[in-house]
């Protein structure tokens, strides 16, 4: 059940948590204060344990599951890995009173019966206190006094007052005065460890609060909020939010329909570029995205690239439904997202025997690239909606996958290099009228305004039945010329200056847009496959900034070049600002 307060739907508290509090007193989580630890200032809290201690599920004895939870009633550890199984939920069902557990790696409350995160003010106070003690012990000379405070006598309900008033007995120093003057906007200069004045902050640079494992969303949203064509579209009121809601009956409540992601994007652009420097919480956008991608609606960590694709599909689906006709993303005029990111790939499959060539065109919003070298396996894939997949699965997942250095230009060259398809992938030659071995070559028929390159760092092996992350370093340029990878350039290198009947329109297509691109955003991933973190680097006014959820830091180019790129956004040089 839920209640409505000031027009907002507020969910009822978890009944199992209320039952736990009624059975264990008014402050049942006070004993957990000394069991929570924070590795470093600003780091994530976790359950305190020895360095050599590896938590394992008491049922399956696995330590690599997506989540491990410790029961607050019996301290037993169980895994939660939907949709496969949930030993934590099974433990709660077979033992009444054992429904509430704590995330071992993140110190978050979880109801194993409701299968959702729950909030408790008393427990949250204990977590915040552990974080505050860690920060004070590191940054304050009087940290030892705070560390020696009586934890048993600490009052959780007064934590927020203690954190604001009593935690720092000294008066604010000059750096703290700057923070207060800038409305608590956490923008630091990593080059000289100084704070940046508000006059030097680029317009629209604002942190995004983490709403619970939403760094994958925040990293992509930061890149989209500062994509020049997309920013120009929404800030010029090209998408009328009120008109869109009125047309869909969302204002008067006369029509039942899913929320519009473009409307929420427009609202987010207005909020981020309003001049407010405090971190913004994209909760409404997250809820709308959950409505469009119900299979991804959870507080689990998701893939940033998958979020990017599903978000663009959600905007496109809404526009296509309103116009009551099928809109092709490759046309470039279907919706705001595809106007910016949509391109067209060309695929040529040539018969080795007679030379007959079959050409197909597929729309795409990004290009996925394998890191080179990949031991002879061609890395060609895209987010095109094509059913003719001729990729070879890379089953070799040895340690050498992480060795060596790859370059973005080398990955693009491999993507557009002709490859011989295997004997099990013969295509039907219309001239020979039999299945023949063939050569396949990919090229870019039409460039988008913004090119997004997705680096495939997550590998999955069907033979070994395992997944892993590729940590190989990737070199990428700040300026990129896409001319060598266009269909016109590849056809010219293959056939010279001869005019062929099937490529007569390639010259005009390549001249529609400029081939010179500039890097303006890069999404990076650090950590393991199942427990990583996403961060975005933005280039604004010829200066690079690191966007780590709510925290914004100014960095130099060397830090950006050393980052482990996962998604790279290049804009046409004539459009870059």
Question: Range(s) for CATH 3.30.40.10 in the chain?
Answer: 15-137
Dihedral through CA 252, CA 256, CA 262, CA 265, nearest 10?
70
Instruction: Decide: 62 and 79 in contact? Cβ < 8 Å.
Output: yes
Distance CA 547, CA 304 (A): 15
Look at residue 88 in the predicted model and tell me its pLDDT: 87
Distance CA 482, CA 518 (A): 11
Q: Which residue has the higher pLDDT, 13 or 147?
A: 13
> How do residues 224-261 score in pLDDT, each as one tens digit?
999 999 888 888 877 766 677 666 655 445 444 556 88
The helix or strand, by DSSP H or E, that contains position 490, with its residue range, turns out to be: helix 487-495
Cis amide bond preceding 518, omega within 30: no
Instruction: Decide: 368 and 382 in contact? Cβ < 8 Å.
Output: yes
Does domain 15-137 bear CATH number 3.30.40.10? yes
Question: Range(s) for CATH 3.90.70.10 in the chain?
Answer: 208-245+259-320+331-371+405-502+510-576
Mean pLDDT of the chain: 75
What Å distances lie between residue 335 and 140, 174, 196, CA to CA? 53, 49, 38
Distance CA 383, CA 354 (A): 31
Residue from 87, 292, 525, 533 carrying the catalytic annotation? 533
Residue 372 sits at the vertex; the CA angle it makes with 371 and 375, to the nearest 5 degrees, is 115
Alpha helices in 155-260 (DSSP H): 159-161, 174-181, 215-225, 228-235, 241-247
Q: Is the dihedral of CA 470, 476, 478, 484 positive or negative?
A: negative
Burial class (CB in 10 A: 0-12, 13-18, 19+), 154: middle
pLDDT over threshold 60, residue 374: no
Distance CA 435, CA 94 (A): 59
**3-state class (DSSP) for residue 570:** strand
Please state, as a whole number, how many other Cβ atoms lie within 10 Å of the Cβ of residue 63: 13
Long-range pairs, 61-69, Cβ under 8 A, ≥24? 64/530, 66/300, 66/530, 67/103, 67/105, 67/110, 67/300, 68/103, 68/104, 68/105, 69/101, 69/102, 69/103, 69/104, 69/110, 69/112
Q: What is the mean pLDDT of residues 338-355?
A: 88
Where does the pLDDT of residue 64 fall: very low under 50, low under 70, confident under 90, or very high at 90 and above? low
Instruction: Decide: 460 and 376 in contact? Cβ < 8 Å.
Output: no
Look at residue 131 in the predicted model and tell me its pLDDT: 65
Distance CA 48, CA 125 (A): 17
Where does the pLDDT of residue 148 fall: very low under 50, low under 70, confident under 90, or very high at 90 and above? very low
Where does the pLDDT of residue 383 fall: very low under 50, low under 70, confident under 90, or very high at 90 and above? low
> How do residues 424-437 score in pLDDT, each as one tens digit?
788 888 888 888 88
Distance CA 270, CA 290 (A): 22
Look at residue 198 in the predicted model and tell me its pLDDT: 55
Instruction: Decide: 262 and 315 in contact? Cβ < 8 Å.
Output: yes
Nearest one of 224, 207, 216, 201 to 571, comparing CA atoms: 224
DSSP string, 440-463: EEEEEEE--SEEEEEE--EEEETT
Listed ranges 32-41, 291-300, 485-494; the one with the highest mean pLDDT:
485-494
The helix or strand, by DSSP H or E, that contains position 473, with its residue range, turns out to be: strand 473-475
> How do residues 557-572 score in pLDDT, each as one tens digit?
999 999 989 999 999 9
Structure tokens, 115: 């299968």
Please state, as a whole number, how many other Cβ atoms lie within 10 Å of the Cβ of residue 165: 10
Structure tokens, 131: 């974080």
Long-range pairs, 547-550, Cβ under 8 A, ≥24? 547/207, 547/208, 547/218, 547/219, 547/222, 549/207, 549/208, 549/209, 549/210, 549/215, 549/218, 549/279, 550/186, 550/207, 550/208, 550/209, 550/210, 550/279
Tell me what percent of the residues of the chain surpass a pLDDT of 70.
64
> How do residues 204-217 score in pLDDT, each as one tens digit?
899 999 988 899 99
Phi, psi of 279 (to 5 degrees): -60, 145
Residue from 215, 263, 364, 547 carrying the catalytic annotation? 215
> How do residues 500-522 score in pLDDT, each as one tens digit?
544 444 554 544 567 899 999 99
The question of whether 263 is a catalytic residue gets the answer: no
| Class level of CATH domain 208-245+259-320+331-371+405-502+510-576 | alpha beta
Separation of first and last alpha carbons in the chain:
49
Look at residue 377 in the predicted model and tell me its pLDDT: 42
The question of whether 533 is a catalytic residue gets the answer: yes
Distance CA 223, CA 555 (A): 16
DSSP string, 381-401: EES---S-----------GGG
Residues 6+ apart with CB under 8 A from 295: none
Burial class (CB in 10 A: 0-12, 13-18, 19+), 152: exposed
Structure tokens, 211: 């709403």
Look at residue 109 in the predicted model and tell me its pLDDT: 86
Where does the pLDDT of residue 142 fall: very low under 50, low under 70, confident under 90, or very high at 90 and above? very low
Look at residue 514 in the predicted model and tell me its pLDDT: 79
Q: What is the mean pLDDT of residues 337-343?
A: 88
Instruction: Decide: 350 and 375 in contact? Cβ < 8 Å.
Output: no
Structure tokens, 482: 């896409």
pLDDT over threshold 70, residue 56: yes
In this prediction the pTM is 0.62
Distance CA 392, CA 390 (A): 7
Look at residue 166 in the predicted model and tell me its pLDDT: 38
Distance CA 343, CA 312 (A): 14
The helix or strand, by DSSP H or E, that contains position 133, with its residue range, turns out to be: helix 121-139
């Amino acid at each position: 059940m839920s209640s409505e307060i000031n027009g907002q739907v507020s969910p009822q508290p978890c009944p199992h948590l209320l039952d736990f509090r009624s059975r264990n007193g008014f402050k049942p989580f006070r004993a957990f204060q000394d069991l929570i630890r924070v590795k470093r200032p600003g780091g994530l809290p976790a359950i305190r344990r020895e360095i050599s201690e590896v938590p394992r599920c008491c049922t399956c004895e696995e330590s690599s599951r997506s989540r491990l939870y410790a029961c607050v009633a019996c301290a037993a550890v169980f895994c939660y890995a939907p949709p496969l199984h949930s030993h934590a939920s099974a433990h709660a069902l077979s033992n009444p009173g054992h429904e509430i557990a704590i995330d071992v790696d993140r110190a978050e409350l979880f109801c194993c019966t409701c299968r959702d995160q729950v909030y408790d003010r008393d427990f949250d106070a204990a977590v915040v206190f552990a974080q505050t003690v860690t920060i004070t012990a590191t940054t304050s000379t009087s940290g030892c006094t705070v560390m020696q405070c009586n934890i048993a006598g600490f009052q959780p309900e007064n934590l927020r007052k203690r954190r604001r008033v009593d935690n720092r007995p000294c008066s604010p120093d000059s750096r703290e005065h700057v923070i207060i003057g800038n409305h608590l906007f956490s923008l630091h200069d990593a080059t000289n460890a100084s704070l940046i004045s508000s006059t030097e902050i680029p317009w629209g640079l604002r942190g995004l609060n983490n709403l619970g494992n939403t760094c994958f969303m925040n990293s992509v949203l930061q890149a989209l909020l500062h994509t020049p064509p997309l920013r120009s579209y929404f800030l010029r009121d090209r998408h009328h939010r009120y008109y869109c809601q009125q047309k869909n009956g969302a204002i008067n409540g006369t029509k039942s329909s899913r929320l519009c992601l473009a409307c929420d994007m427009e609202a987010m652009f207005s909020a981020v570029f309003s001049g407010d420097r405090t971190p913004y919480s994209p909760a409404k956008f997250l809820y709308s995205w959950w409505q469009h991608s119900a299979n991804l609606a959870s507080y689990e960590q998701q893939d940033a690239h998958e979020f990017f694709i599903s978000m663009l599909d959600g905007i496109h689906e809404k526009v296509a439904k309103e116009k009551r006709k099928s809109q092709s993303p490759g046309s470039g005029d279907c919706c705001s997202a595809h106007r910016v990111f949509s391109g067209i790939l060309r695929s040529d499959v040539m018969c080795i025997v007679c030379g007959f060539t079959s050409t197909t065109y597929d729309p795409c919003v990004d290009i996925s690239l394998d890191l080179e070298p990949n031991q002879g396996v061609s890395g060609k894939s895209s987010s095109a909606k094509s059913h003719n997949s001729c990729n070879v699965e890379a089953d070799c997942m040895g340690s050498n996958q992480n060795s060596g250095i790859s370059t973005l230009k080398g990955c693009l060259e491999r993507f557009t290099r002709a490859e011989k398809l295997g004997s099990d992938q013969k295509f039907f030659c219309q001239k020979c009228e039999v299945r023949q071995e063939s050569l396949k070559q990919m090229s870019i028929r039409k460039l988008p305004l913004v090119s997004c390159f997705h680096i495939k760092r997550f590998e999955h092996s069907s033979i070994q039945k395992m997944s892993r992350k590729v940590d190989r370093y990737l070199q990428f340029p700040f300026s990129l010329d896409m001319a060598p990878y266009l269909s016109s350039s590849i056809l010219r290198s293959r056939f010279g200056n001869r005019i062929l009947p099937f490529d007569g329109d390639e010259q005009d297509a390549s001249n529609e847009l400029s081939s010179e691109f500039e890097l303006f955003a890069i999404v990076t991933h650090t950590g393991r496959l199942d427990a990583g973190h996403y961060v975005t680097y933005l280039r604004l006014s010829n200066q690079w900034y690191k966007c780590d959820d709510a925290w914004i830091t100014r960095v130099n180019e060397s830090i950006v070049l050393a980052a482990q790129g996962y998604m790279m956004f290049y804009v046409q040089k004539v459009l870059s600002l």
